[in-house]
Amino acid sequence: MGVDKSVLIDSDDVEEGDQFLTATILVVYLKDKKTDIILAGNIAVDNGTGQVIPRLAEELGISAATTITKLIVDGETTTIGAPC
């Protein structure tokens, strides 16, 4: 709800690869797109290592926050809460 657009990247390479390959595939898709926010689950195809989002953020030159427990989006302002 509230999403303007979403994309499903379905690739056998992602399922058979590692977190570096997964991040690289996402970077290739996202590098020329205007991205406001990237949301990802806590456990994913990276075997729970939590490396895809930090690698993706580094390659795209954007900030990343992990282990988010609260997310409030108000216009162009996003407030993120994380466990202490």
In order along its 84 residues, the chain shows pLDDT tens digits of 677 778 888 777 666 677 888 888 889 999 998 877 777 766 665 566 778 888 998 999 888 877 788 888 888 888 888 666
Separation between Cα atoms, residue 19 and residue 51, nearest integer Å? 6
The pTM (predicted TM-score) of the whole model is 0.67
Separation between Cα atoms, residue 25 and residue 41, nearest integer Å? 17
Separation between Cα atoms, residue 42 and residue 68, nearest integer Å? 9
